[in-house]
Every structure is written in structure tokens, then in C-alpha cells.
Structure 1
Amino acid sequence: MTYPALRTWIGGAPEASAGGDGPWLHDPNTGEALAPSASSSPEQVDRAIEAARRAHDDARWRGLAPEERAERLEVLAAWLDDRAEEVALLDALNSGVPISVTRLFGGSNGATIRDAARRAVAVGDVRELASEQGGVRLHRVPWGPTALILPWNAPSAMAVKKTAFALAAGATVVLKPSSFSPWSAQVLLEGVREADIPDGVVGLVQGGGDVGRALVSDKRIAAISMTGSTPTGRAIATAAAARFARLQLELGSNNPAIVRHDADLDQAAAALADGVLKLSGQWCEAPRRVLVDRARRDEFARLLIEEFGRRRIGSSLDDATEVGPVAFAARRDELDEQRGRLASDGAEILRVSQVPADGWFFAPTVAVLDGPGLADEVFGPMLTVGGYDDEEEAVRLANTGQVGLAGYVFGEDADAAAALGTRLVAGEVKVNGTSVLDMSPESAQSFFGASGLGGHGDDDVLDFFVGKRVVGRDRPGLPL
């Protein structure tokens, strides 16, 4: 198979990325080296930012009506629809996520773009405000060039969503995909060119932390949207603070799940196994820590590991696989190290025994240990299970440590479970389920605590890329 060349895109045109001395891209199923990495030079990063600045300043994109932008975005959506299978294959290789899941992502990218365009048209760039004197209008104005820092776990979905909502809002952007999962971003940029989106509106740079630091530190970057680790998020916030760049940061969280006394344990175990094993355990809002009545803790842990054992573990390219490898060797090694620390802390370690020997596979694991668990985020197919004596203790433990993105509550009495969910420090709490998708088309959530800045929900994402400006006739006769 031929993989996309890791090119840098500046002013609507691709060019060879200057450097390539970083780690190779590997097949996570076998460990086989597939292609060399690439990195944009500092000069290329500078030119990509400058192209985005010029495109913002001359309003070649934001100056179009939302309906005109929507027409171009529809062309991009249709183009990505036609490339869905290619994108699914590239994502499965870059992330280790089973292709049955990456096909869902690849097949929905066009719909994501259409939804962003529809929302932007509905809200408009300018609207009349109620006023006695008339002529007062609210303008939605893009902040300026925006850096999109992309994660490695859902490469095309995150690249497309951030780019689609930025473009629908009229912003110009520079993308930096993860150096572990850069391929589908190349496909997206090809589509941007085919959709006749003006040159300079979307740029792409390649590389690791040095390229990311250069991008987010540049004073021409007015806003930054990033999904990734908490340490990276802290570094970005520090770099952006002096110039007050706008930030949207979705970071790590050891998301808790409370199993109430009246929960059906079999159903809860099946749902939690589904939740933690989706995307090979590699999604930000996956359940990470389970709290259950102490008298039933060990029983529940064994139900969980039995559920883990029922899932088919194998190549991310196999249609029948339910749990693939993790994305890269360092991810597997960190999970190994975390599991070792849990064992050293006294945890009983339960793990699935039949796991492929080659590649970056990590045996799905249940670690049985009371207390808050590890301080650092567990990002992979591993759950901790601890006990509680009453719900006050359960809430205290659930709200301890790095939390803020999501939470889960299981119980027969759904109203009581939901009431308990309102006590969790989390932007989204699901009752009796662990789905990836939002519970409502109107869903919105904030990132609490160390889980980030801002939040998401489609309207919130669209709003992030713009500031609001009021222009109009002043009110006559005001006393002050």
C-alpha cells in the first residue's frame, strides 16, 4: 500500500517537509516500520502562519456570506464521502482503533462538515439586536489565525471537526496533526484544495513538540484549539497567556463510574467493558475508575474481566476485531508501567491472557484496589475497581484526582442515579450507558478542573472561533 506523503501545506499548495529524522510510523498490529516521519522547518511554520494571517486580514474567506462558505464546504464534504474507506484504513493503521470503528468515523466526516455549515448559516455572521433607536447589530468576527492541535487517537474525526467548525465560522487555520497519526490530515488538505477554498485559509505543518511550540507561541496565532494530554495543555496555556490568545483545551481525565447498590451488575459490567475498550481504550471520556459497593467489589471485578475476555482482540485491519492494539510502542509501555505501579500499590491484577505477541497490544486489565487510584491519566484498555461503604464516600472518591470530562452512574432507579450524577465534577455524566456520542443534539459541556479550558457541544465549538462585536447607533438621551 502507498501511504500519503507527509507534506507541509502553505498557501494552498503542498511542499516537501524539510525534516525527517524523527521516529518512523509503524503498523501497530505487527510493529513493522511503514514510513519515515517528517517535520516542517521553522521557516515553513512561519510561512504557514503568515499565509493564514494574510488570508484573515484580506477577508478572502470570512468576507464570504455563511451560505457561500457552506457551498464550498459541501464540496469538501462530498469529496470526503468518496474517500471514506481510504481514511478508515489510514486511521486504523495510525491509531490501532479497529477498522469497524474507523469506518464509522470516516463515513461520518462529510456529515460533520455539513452540520457545521448548517449551524453557521442558521446563526449568521450579523444579526439585528432589539433596540429603541434601531440599527444595532451583533457581528460574529473570527479572532484571527487559529492553530488546531490534533490528537492521535481519532485522527480524521478530530481534524475534520475542528477544521469544519473553524471554516464554517470564517476562521483561517493551521493544523498540526500528531506525529503518530498524520496521514488522514493529508487527505483532508487535498479535499480543501479540491473544494476551491481560497489559498492560505487552511495550512498544515508536520512534526512533534518543537513544531507545536513554534506554532502556539507565535503572536500571529490568535486562538488555539487543542485536544491532547494535560502536560501539553499546560505548556500551551503558558505559551498563550502573555498575549491572551483564546484557548479551547480538551485534556486528560480519569473518568469515574459509580455502580449504585441497586444496579444490575451484569448489565453494568457489559456497559463498562464496552466503554473502556472502545477505540482500544483510547478516548478521552472513557470510564477509567469504577466504584462499587465494597461487599460486591470482587464479584464485579470478575464480571468485568469476563466481559473483557469475550471481546475479540486482533488486528485493527480485521473487520471482526473489537479491541485492537494501542497506537504506538510508548503508549503500550506507559500502560505497562502504570499497571506495575498499581500492582506495587497492592492491586490485584486481572488481565486477558490471549493477546497477540507482535505489535503494540496491551492485555485488557482490571486492577482491583480501593482508593482514588493513579494520579496520572490511564489512557488505554485498563480499569481500576475500588469499593465504597456509602454514596458519600463514592462521591468523594469519584471527585478526587484528575477529573472533569465525564462520569458514569449505574442503577435501577434512573432518577436516583441521575441525581447522584449531578454531584460529580464532570462536564458530562451518563446514566446506564457509555456511548461515545452526545446524548442530545443540544448537548454542551464544560471542561472542569484540570481536564481543560472551555468545553464542547457543537454550538460551543462554533462559538469558540469567533468574538462578538456590537456596532450601531447609540441610544439617545441616556443620563450617563
Structure 2
Amino acid sequence: MTYPALRTWIGGVAEDSPEHDGSWLHDPNTGEQLAPSASSSLDQVDRAVAAAARAHDDGRWRGLGPEERADRLEKLAAWLDDRAEEIAHLDALNSGVPITVTRLFGGANGATLRDAARRATASGDVRDLPAEQGGVRLHRVPWGPTALILPWNAPSAMAVKKAAFALAAGATIVLKPSSFSPWSAQVLMEGVRESGIPEGVVGLVQGGGAIGRALVADERVAAISMTGSTPTGRAIAATAAPRFARLQLELGSNNAAVVRRDADLAQAAKAIADGVLKLSGQWCEAPRRVLVDRARRGELAHLLVEEFGRRVIGSSLDDTTEVGPVAFADRHRELAEQRERLAQRGAELLQVAQVPAQGWFFAPTVVVLDGPGLAEEVFGPMLLVGGYDDEDEAVRLANTGQVGLAGYVFGADEEQAAALGTKLIAGEVKVNGTSVLDMSPASAQSFFGASGLGGHGDDDVLDFFVGKRIVGRDRPGLPL
């Protein structure tokens, strides 16, 4: 297969990415080298931001209005619909996520664009506000050039989601995909060119941390939307703070699942195993810790590892695979090191015995250990199971450490389970399920604690990319 060249896109034109550090993109299923990595230069970062700034200043995109922007986004959506299988294949190679899942992401990219355009059109760029004197209007105004920093675990879905809502809102953008998963962003850029989005509105730079740091440090970048690790998010926040750049940061969280005493353990184990193993264990809202009545801790742990053992582990390109490899060698090494640290603390390790010998397959593991676990996020197919004596202790443990994204509660009495869920520090708490998708089309979810800034309900995401400006005739006769 021919893989997309890692080009830098500036002003609607693809350029070579001239910097090389000798690293390669690999097939996570085998460890085979597939293509050399490439990085943009710092000059290219500067020029990409300059192009986005010019496009913002002259209004060539936001000035079209939401309906015309929606027409262009519909063309991009149709173009991506036609490339869905190619995108699914590239994402499965870049992330280790099974192709049955990356097909769902690739097939939904067009719908994401259409939904963002629909929401922006419904909101409008300008609307009249009630005022007795009349002539008062609310204007939704993009902040300015916006940096989109993308994660590696859902490459096309995150690139399209961030770009769709930013573009629908009228913002100009510069994307930086992860250096581990850059290919589907290249396909997206080809679609941007074909769909008639004006030159300079969308740029793309390639590379690792140095390129990301240069992009977010640029004084012209007015807003930054990033999904990734907590250390990277802290660094971005520190860089952006002096100029008060707007931030949306979705970071790490060791999400807790509380299993109440009335729960069916077998049903809970199946749902929790489904949750932790989705995307080969690599999604930010996966359950990472399970808290259960201490007397039933061993029973639940063994049910979980039995569920792990029922999953088909294999190549991310195989249609029968349910759990693929982790995305790259460093991810595998970090998981192995975390597992060893937990073992040194006295944890019992229960893991699937058979995984492929080649590639970056990490044996799905249940770690039996009381307490909050590791301070940092565990991002892969590994789950901590600990006990509690009463639900007050369960809530205290669930809210300890790096938390804030998601939580889960399992119990036969769903009303009582939901009541317990309101006590968890999390933006989203699901009862008796671990699905990836939102529970409601109107969902809104804030990032609590150290899990980030902002949120990712769809209307919230759209609102992030704009400021609100009131313009109109002042009220006559006011006393002050």
C-alpha cells in the first residue's frame, strides 16, 4: 500500500516537510517499518499561522456566513464519505485500533461535518436580541487563528471533529496531528482543497513536541483546542496563559467504576471489560479502576479476566479482531513499566496468557490492589480492581487521584446507582454501561479537576471557537 506523504499545508498548497530525525512510522501489528517520519520546519509553522491570520483578518471564511460555510462543509463531508475505507485502514495502522472500529469512525466523519454545519446554521452568526429600543444584536465572532492539537488514538475522528466545529463557527485553523498518527489528516487536507474552502483557512504542520510548542507559542494563535496527555496540556496552558489564549484541553483521567452491592457481577464484568478494551484500551473515558465490595473483589477480578480471555486479540487490520496492539513501542513500554510498579506494591496480576509474539500487543491485565492506584493515567488494556467497605469509602476512592472525565456505576437499583453517580467528580457518569458515544443528542460534559479545561458537548464545542459581541442602540433614559 502507498501511504500518504507527510506534507505541510500552507495557504492551500502542500509542501515537503523537510525535517527528519531518523524515526519511522511502524505497523503496530508486526513492528515493521512502514514509512519515514517527517516534520515541518519552524519557518513553515510561522507561515502556516500567518496564512491563517490573513484569512481571519480579511474575513474570507467567516464572512461567507453559516449557510455558505455549510455548503462547503457538505462537499467536504461527501468527499470524506467516499474515502471512508481508506481512512479506516490508515487509522488502524496508525493507532492499533481494530479496523471494525476505525470503519465506524471513518464512516461517521461526514456526519460529523454535517452536524457541525447544522448547529452553526441554527445558531447563526448574528441574531436580534429582545430590547425595548430595538436594534440590539448578538454577533458570534471567531477569536482568530486557532491551533488544533490532535491525539493519536482516534486520528481521523478527532481531526474531523475539531476541524468541523471550528470551521462551522467561522474560525481559521492550523492542525497538528500526532507524529504517531499523521496519515488521515493528510487525507482530510486533500478534501479541504477539493471542497472549495478558501486558501489559508486550513493549514497543517507535522512533527513532534517542538513543532507543537512553536505553534501554541505563536502570539497570533488566539485559541487552542487540544486532546492529549496531562503533561502536554499543562505545558500548553502555561505557554498560553500570558496572552490569555482561549483553551479547550481534554486530558487524562483514571476513570472509576463503582460496583454497588446489588449489582449483577457477571453483567458488570462484561460491560466493564467491553469498556476498558475498546480502541485496544486506548480511549480517554475508558474505565481504569473498579471499586467493589471488598468481600467480592476476587470474584469480580476473575470474572473480568475471563471476559478479557473471550476477546479476539489480533491484527488491527483483521475483521475478526476485537483487541489490537497498542499504537507504538513507547506506549507498550510505559504500560509494562506501570504494571511492574503495581506488582512491586503487592498487586496480584491476572492477565490473558496468549497474545501475538510480534508487534506491540499488551496482554489485557486485571490488577488486584486496594487503594487509588497510580498517580498518572493508565492508558491501555489494564484495569485496577480494588475493594471498599461502604459506599462512602467507594466515593472517596473514586474521587482520589487524577479524575474528572468519566465515571461509571453498576447496580440493580438504577435510581440509587444514578444518585451515587452524582457524587463522582466526572463530567459524564454512565449507569450500567460503558459506551463511547454520548447518552443524549443534547449531552454537555465539562472536564472536571485535572482532566482539562472546557468540555465536549457538541454545542459547547461550537461555542468554544467564538466570542460573543453585543452591538446596538443603548437604552434611553437609564438612571445610571
TM-score norm. by structure 2 comes to 1.00
Q: CA deviation at 1:23?
A: 1.9
2:42 match: 42
Q: Which residue of 1 aligns with 2:290?
A: 290
Write the mapping of 1:92-131 to structure 2, written as runs, cut at 5 A. 92-131=92-131
**Mapping for residues 216-255 of structure 1, pairs under 5 Å:** 216-255=216-255
Other structure's SS at 1:3 match:
coil
Which consecutive residues of structure 1, in runs of 5 or more, have no partner in the other structure? none
Matched position secondary structure for 2:103:
helix
User: 2:411 — aligned with what?
Assistant: 411
Residue 273 of structure 1 corresponds to 273
How far apart are the structure 1 equivalents of 2:290 and 2:472?
Answer: 55
**What whole-Å deviation, never above 9, does each CA across 1:310-350 have from its counterpart, x for those lacking one?**
00000000000000000000000000000000000010000
Q: Per-residue displacement from partner, 1:56-82 (whole Å, max 9, x unpaired)?
A: 000000001100000000000000000
The residue type paired with residue 401 of structure 1 is: G
State whether structure 2 residue 459 is matched by structure 1 residue 459: yes
Structure 2 CA distance for aligned equivalents of residues 443 and 23 of structure 1: 41
Deviation at 1:175, TM superposition (A): 0.1
1: distance between equivalents of 2:250 and 2:370? 28
Distance 2:236 2:52 in 1: 20
**Distance (Å, rounded) in 1 between the aligned partners of 2:464 and 2:22:** 33
Counterpart of 1:163, as a letter, is A
1:374 correspondence with 2:374: yes
Q: Distance in 2 between matches of 1:372 and 1:336?
A: 19
Structure-2 separation of matches of 1:36 and 1:267: 45
Amino acid at match of 1:280: S
Q: Is 1:11 equivalent to 2:11 in the alignment? A: yes
The 1-side partners of 2:311 and 2:379 are apart by 19
CA 1:423–1:66 in 2, change beyond 3 Å: closer, same or farther?
same
Q: Distance in 2 between matches of 1:40 and 1:410?
A: 47
The 3-state SS of whatever aligns with 2:219 is coil
What is the CA deviation profile of residues 364-400 of structure 1, one whole-angstrom value per residue up to 9, with x for unaligned ones?
Answer: 0000000111111000000000000000000000000
In structure 2, the residue matched to 1:142 is: 142
Post-superposition CA distance 1:88-144 (Å, at most 9, x none): 000000000000000000000000000000000001000000001000000000000
**What is the CA–CA distance in structure 1 between the aligned matches of 2:65 and 2:217, rounded to whole Å?**
31
Match of 1:59 in 2: 59
Instruction: State the distance in 2 between where 1:17 and 1:322 align.
Output: 35
Partner of 1:69: 69
- CA drift of 1:24 comes to 0.4
Quote the residue 1:429 is aligned against. 429
The code of the aligned residue for 1:115 comes to: D
Q: In 2, distance between residues paired with 1:443 and 1:69?
A: 25
Q: Does 1:386 align with 2:386?
A: yes
Letter in 1 for 2:80: L
Aligned counterpart, 1:399? 399
In 1, Cα distance between the equivalents of 2:101 and 2:372? 31
> Which aligned pairs between 1:255-270 and structure 2 lie closer than 5 A?
255-270=255-270
Task: Give 3-state SS (helix, strand or coil) of 1:405's partner.
Answer: strand
Distance 1:191 1:215 in 2: 23
In 2, the alpha carbon distance for the partners of 1:23 and 1:404 equals 35
3-state SS, counterpart of residue 63 of structure 2: coil
Query: Structure 2 CA distance, aligned partners of 1:227 and 1:211?
Result: 16
Deviation for aligned residue 1:22: 4.6
Distance 2:406 2:22 in 1: 34
Provide the residue aligned with 2:191 in structure 1. Answer: 191
1:310 alignment counterpart: 310
- The CA RMSD measured in Å over matched residues stands at 0.4
Which residue does the alignment assign to 2:474? Answer: 474
**Rounded Cα–Cα distance in structure 2 between residues aligned with 1:33 and 1:391:** 50
Q: Structure 1: which amino acid aligns with 2:344?
A: S
* 2:412 counterpart SS class: coil
One-letter amino acid of the counterpart of residue 233, structure 1: G
**Counterpart mapping for 1:81-92 below 5 A:** 81-92=81-92
Does residue 24 of the first structure (1) align with residue 24 of the second (2)? yes
Amino acid at match of 2:163: T
Provide the secondary structure at the position in 2 that maps to 1:38: coil
Counterpart-to-counterpart distance in 1, 2:341 and 2:111? 43
- For 1:38 and 1:196, the matched residues in 2 are separated by 27
State how far apart, in whole Å, the 1-side matches of 2:390 and 2:401 are: 19
Instruction: Give the Cα separation in 2 of the matches to 1:44 and 1:19.
Output: 11
Aligned 1:208-219 pairs, distance under 5 A: 208-219=208-219
SS where residue 346 of structure 1 aligns? coil
Q: Distance in 2 between matches of 1:298 and 1:464?
A: 45
Residues 440-455 of structure 1: pairs in structure 2 closer than 5 A: 440-455=440-455
For 1:412 and 1:64, locate their aligned partners in 2 and report how far apart those are by CA, in whole Å.
53
Q: Which amino acid aligns with 1:384?
A: L
- Which amino acid in structure 2 is aligned with residue 196 of structure 1? G
| Structure 2 Cα separation of the partners of residues 263 and 282 of structure 1 | 26
Paired AA for residue 108 in structure 2:
S
What is the distance in 2 between the residues matched to 1:279 and 1:444? Answer: 23
Deviation beyond 3 Å, 4+ runs, structure 1: none
- Hey, what does 1:175 align to over in structure 2? 175
Structure-1-length-normalised TM-score = 1.00
> CA-to-partner distance for each residue in 1:198-227, whole Å, 9 max, x for gaps?
000000000000000000000000000000
Query: In 2, Cα distance between the equivalents of 1:251 and 1:346?
Result: 29
Q: Which amino acid aligns with 1:126?
A: V
**SS where residue 455 of structure 1 aligns?**
coil
> Alpha-carbon deviation of 1:20?
1.7
- Between the aligned partners of 2:333 and 2:376, the Cα distance in structure 1 is 14
User: Cα distance, 1:18 vs. partner?
Assistant: 1.4
What amino acid is the match of 1:458? D
SS in 2 for 1:401: coil
